Structure 1
Amino acid sequence: MNTDFPAACSGALCLCTILLSHFIILANGESQIACGKRAVTIRTSQSRIVGGRDAVEGAWPWQVSLQVTNKRAHVCGATVISQWWLLSAAHCFPSTNGFNNKNQWRAVMGLRDLSIHAKWTITRKIAVLILHEQYNDIQNDIAVLKVDRAIGFADYIRAACLPKPGKFHIEKWNHCHVTGWGLMEQNGAPARILQEAAVKLIPLETCQQVNWYGSRINDKMICAGFAGGGIDACQGDSGGPLSCQLKGTDRFYVVGVVSWGQGCAQRFKPGVYTSTSTYGDWIEQKTGILISQSEDSGVEFEIDNGDAGTESLTGKQSVPPTVPNGLVKPISLVRRNTPGRATPLLNLIIISYHFYISCCS
C-alpha cells in the first residue's frame, strides 16, 4: 500500500499542524502563566510606604484589597496564591466585630487606585475562611481564604509563588518589597494609590536584640526594614505580601505576611512578618496547593480545581477577641481580564478534531 502523500497535501498538513498547535497553546495558555512574574517591566524601587511612592500599574499583580462588604472599605491586604486561594493574616478577622464571618468580606484584585475600578479589576466573595488553629495575638498570624469563583489570570492579576516549606533562609532572597494601602505615616491618612516599599531582610539574631524586639521574635517570623526606621508597613497593610525574588531568578515569592510592629517606621522597630515557608505544610494541607519543591525558575503555575479546603471558620477556629494595642498592626476602621476557566481536556480534543477536519479535509 502506498502511504506517500502528495506534496501539496503534506504542505497543507504541515500548515494545519502548526495552526493546530498554536490553537491548543492559546486555548490552554492561561494555565501556563508563571507564578511571581510581572507582565510589565518595573525599575527597582527604593521607596517607602510611610511617606512613600505610588506603585506602577501591574507592578504587584498578586496584591489583593480585602474590604468590608457593607462599607466597601479597604481593611486588610492579601496575596493571590492560586486561582482559588488568597493568603492573609489571622488578626485581620477578629470575632469581636463579626469580622470572623466570611460573608462580611469581599476580595478585590487588579486594583491600584481604591477609588477607581479598571476594566480588568475583579471582585470575589469569600467562600471559605480558615485561620491558623493556634493563632494567638502575634503567634501563628496566618490565614487562607477561598474565593467563590475562580480568578482569571491576565496581565494585571496573577499569583505570587510560594516558597518551599521549611526554615526561612535569609541568604536566598533579594529585592524585597512590601505593598499595601495602609497609613502613609503613623497615625496619618491611609493611601488611595497602592504603595510599595523596598525593604531589607534583617537577621533573626539582630531583631532579637534587647533594644529591638527581644524575645517576642521567633523563627516563624521575619523582620524586614531598616535599623534607622523611616521605611515600613503600617496599619492597613496587614495581611499583605512581603514579596522577594529568589536569587538567580526573576520570580517573586510571598515570603512573608504583614503581621505586626511597634509603631510604624521607628528606629530598631522594623516590620514583622509571618514566615510563609514555615507554614508551607499548613498552607498545603488547608488549600490543596502543591507548592513547588524545586524553587527554580522553570516552575509554572498550574490551575487547581478548588476541591480542597472544605473547612470553614464556624465552630472550628478559635479567634482571640482582641490584639494588643501599640504592638500588633491592627485592622483599621480605623488588560484585560476574563473570569478564568480551565479548558476540559475532552472539549479541547473535540474542538481540535473539528478544527483539523475543517482545515485539512
Structure 2
Amino acid sequence: MALLWLFVLLFLAKPVGGTWDTCRGTCGLRPMAFDHSSVVAEYSQDNDYDSLDSSDGTAEYTDNSAGVHPGAWPGVISVQATWDNGTWHMCSGALIHPQWVLTVAHCFARAGDISRWEVVIGATDLSQPGPEAQLRHIQTLVVHQHYDPRTARNNIALLELDQPVECSDYIQLGCVPDRSLAVSALKTCYIAGWRNTPDSGQSPSPRLVLQEAKVRLIDVQLCNSSRWYGGAVHPQDLCAGYPRGGIDTCQGDIGGPLVCKDNTGDYFWLVGLASWGKGCAGAKRPGVFTSIQQFHTWIQVQMGLLPPEADAAPPEPFPSPEEESEGDLEDDMNPNPDDSEDYSKVSFQQQILGKFLNLLLELLQFLKGEKA
C-alpha cells in the first residue's frame, strides 16, 4: 500500500504537458495591464465622434498609434499564413486553453494547406514578437458544422495547437462565459487588433502593433433595426461600438476578441469575436461579433470536454438579468477564474484521472505478476 501511495504522489508531482504549473486553471487575467482609465480614451454619447477621421478605415482605434504596451492583452493571438511572398497576419483570435485557440470560421474560407498556417501567442509587435512570444502550428482546424459564409451565421472555429503553450505575464487564457453570465449587463468592454504604425510607410514589411479601444455593447434589437443593419444580425451575434461611429473594428481585425470586465471581479470575459460589419466606424454601423456565450456547449464538445450528443439539443433561451436574480443554484454559479471548473481545470482533471487509472492498472498487473 505504501508503494501505491508513493507512486500516486510522484505522479501528481509531475506537471501534465507542462501547462498546469503555468496556467493554474485561471482565465481572464491581465498581469501586465495598466489602469485603463488613464490609457484608453473613454467615449460617450456626448463626444464629438466626427472629429475622428475614419474615412480611410484606419482611425477606428484610439490615437495610441504606437500600440499598447507589451502584455496588455495576453490572450490575443495572431493567426498567420506563409505564402511564396512571405508570412502574413490573416486574422486574430483568443487563447482559451493551453492547446486551443478560438477564432472565426471566415478566416479559413480559402485556407488551403493548413500546415502552412501558424499561431503567434504573447506578441504585441508582430514584426518583433520578442522572447516572451510563442509560436505554434495548427494540428486541427474545427469549423462550425453549420457555418454559412453567405450570412456569417455560426461564424466560429477552433484551432488545436500542435503543442500546449506555457502561460506567463504575457500569455493568459480567455474566460469563455456560459449561460449564467448576463453579458448585456457588462459595462466596460474593449476591442483589440493589429494596425500598421505610422513609421511603416511604404515598407514591404509593415510594422503591425496591437492597438485597443473602449467600446459599448449595443442592444441587438437596436442594432438590427431598419436604420441600422435591417435584420442581418443573427441571434448568435453581438454588436459593439457607438451609435455615432468613430470607434470600430475594420479590415484585418477579423476574429479579434471583444472582452468585457466582470462587474465585480478583477478579470475579463471573452464575450465576442469580430465577425463582420458594413464599412469601418460609420454611424449606426457598429462591429458585429460572434457571441461566444451562445457556443459554450459547442466549444466544450469540440474540445472533448462533453460528449457529442450534448450539442445536439437546441440551445436554451438565455435568462434576463431579472430572471437570473431569481434563478436556481445553477444560475447563481457565476464562474470565477480562480475557482471555477473552467476549460483548463477540467482538462487537467480529465488528464490526471485518465493517466492515473492507466498507471494504477499497470501497477496492479505488475503486483499480480510478482505474486505469480
Q: TM-score scaled to structure 2, two decimals?
A: 0.68
Give the number of equivalent residue pairs. 282
Aligned partner (choices 218, 224, 243) of residue 202 of structure 1: 218
Does residue 1:265 correspond to 2:281, yes or no? Answer: yes
Shift of 1:128: 0.3
- Return the offset for 1:65: 0.6
Q: Which runs of 5+ in 2 are unaligned?
A: 1-12, 43-58, 307-329, 358-372
Among 113, 116, 126, the residue aligned to 1:104? 116
Q: Percent identity?
A: 33
Q: Answer whether contact 1:166 1:278 (CA < 8 A) is retained.
A: no
Displacement after TM superposition at 1:151 (Å):
0.7
Q: State which of 280, 295, 300 in structure 1 corresponds to 2:335.
A: 295
Asked if the contact 2:79/2:119 (under 8 Å) is kept, the reply is yes
Q: Helix, strand or coil: the match of 1:215?
A: coil
Deviation at 1:169, TM superposition (A): 3.7
Deviation at 1:40, TM superposition (A): 1.8
Distance in 2 separating the partners of 1:166 and 1:139: 23
Cα distance change on mapping 1:182 and 1:140 into 2, 3 Å: farther
Contact 1:81 1:160 in 2 (8 A): yes
Deviation at 1:174, TM superposition (A): 2.5
Choose from 222, 226, 246 the match for 2:242: 226
Superimposed CA distance per residue, residues 174-200 of structure 1 (whole angstroms, 9 cap, x where no aligned partner): 221111115789xx9987210101100
Query: Counterpart of 1:92?
Result: 107
| Deviations 1:3-55 (CA, angstroms, capped at 9, x unpaired) | xxxxxxxxxxxxxxxxxxxx999x96424252001112412222774464221
Q: Please identify which structure carries the higher helix content.
A: 2
Question: Does the 8 A contact of 1:250 with 1:297 survive in 2?
Answer: no
Map residues 49-198 of structure 1 onto 2, 5 A cutoff.
Answer: 49-50=60-61, 52-53=63-64, 54-70=67-83, 71-95=86-110, 99-137=111-149, 138-165=152-179, 169-171=183-185, 173-182=186-195, 192-198=208-214
- 1:265 deviates by 0.3
Question: Deviations along 1:245-294, whole A, 9 cap, x unmatched?
Answer: 1211111111001100000100100000000000111111101358x963
> Separation in 2 of the partners of 1:135 and 1:240?
18
Change (3 A) 1:81 1:289: farther
* Cα displacement string for residues 200-228 of structure 1 (whole angstroms, at most 9, x for unaligned residues): 00011110111100110122100000011
State whether residues 92 and 193 of structure 2, in contact with CA within 8 Å, keep that contact through their aligned partners in structure 1.
Answer: yes
Change (3 A) 1:297 1:88: closer
Distance apart, 1:345 and its partner CA: 8.2
Considering only aligned residues, what root-mean-square deviation do their CA atoms show, in Å?
3.2
Q: Secondary structure at the match of 1:74?
A: strand
Q: Aligned AA for 1:135?
A: Y
Write the distance in 2 (CA, Å) between the matches of 1:62 and 1:289: 21
Structure 1 position 35 matched with structure 2 position 51:
no
Higher relative contact order (CA 8 A, sep 6+): 1
Partner Cα separation in structure 1 for residue 20 and residue 180 of structure 2: 33
